[in-house]
Amino acid sequence: MRFKVLIVVFTLISLCGMAQRFADQIPGIKRYTSTEAIDPDFGIKMYNKLVPSLGGDSIRYNNAGYNLQGWQEDYYMNGNLLHKGFYVDGQIKVFKNYFESGQIERSIVIADPARASVDIYYPSGTVRTQILYFSGNAQNEYSFFPNGNKATVVEKDKDAQFIYRSSRYYENGTAATEFSLIDKKIKKYSDKEYYENGKLKQEGYSLYKPETKDYQKEGEWAYYNEKGQVVKKEKYRNGKLQ
């Protein structure tokens, strides 16, 4: 009997030791500098990998080495809130990120397991980007200039394999490019580019090639000067000038 008790005791001590060693591998609470937290081009993106609705598949652990559960807050070095998210089994279901000033940087809304939307903001508080996700893929994306005018529009099929519509704008609000699907069967697009004064710069057609995932010029293209006069015409086949 005494021998059995000793075995149980040694087993428990061994398991506790293993748990302690595993927990030691998990970093403690850390405060972030703005340089660490904020990517100059994409903002506070380090939490995206923890969001299944955005295609993330990483897991976050608590200090004991288990999958993080419930609300979690992260902070800047000055003590201001950086991130607040609700975690289930180490992955985020809802979150908001903040600039060091306290202004919200982005938030996520999950409509259902397949659909989610992310709003990203400038430090001033105006919307910078809106992204709609479907099954982990960025399906539609809209970006804006700091003055609130549209900068880009990209709308894709639900599997994000090809574009339905893509537009780019000048900061004054006029269109810079327009790329739109006009024949879904053969993936043919109307492809136009404009001068900042609104005059057409070039126009033609493009075809999407699924095998290369590329958009290639096809057929006749016309090029214009800023007065709207045709200055050149070209013909393309499979993206190559004829």
Domains of the chain from N-terminus onward: 29-241 (3.90.930)
> DSSP 3-state assignment of 14?
helix
In terms of Cα–Cα distance, which of 179, 220, 172 is closest to 195? 172
Which residues is 88 bridged to in the sheet?
91
**Residue 13 has what DSSP assignment?**
H
Query: Rounded to the nearest 5°, which phi and psi values hold at 40?
Result: -60, -25
Report the pLDDT value the prediction gives residue 9, as an integer from 0 to 100.
Answer: 37
Cβ burial, residue 108 (10 Å; 0-12/13-18/19+): buried
Show pLDDT as tens, one digit a residue, over the chain (242 residues). 544 443 433 343 344 444 443 334 444 568 999 999 999 989 999 999 999 888 899 999 998 999 999 999 999 999 999 999 999 999 999 999 999 999 999 999 888 878 899 999 999 999 999 999 998 899 999 999 999 999 999 999 988 889 999 999 999 999 999 999 999 999 999 999 999 999 999 999 999 999 998 999 999 999 999 999 999 999 999 899 99
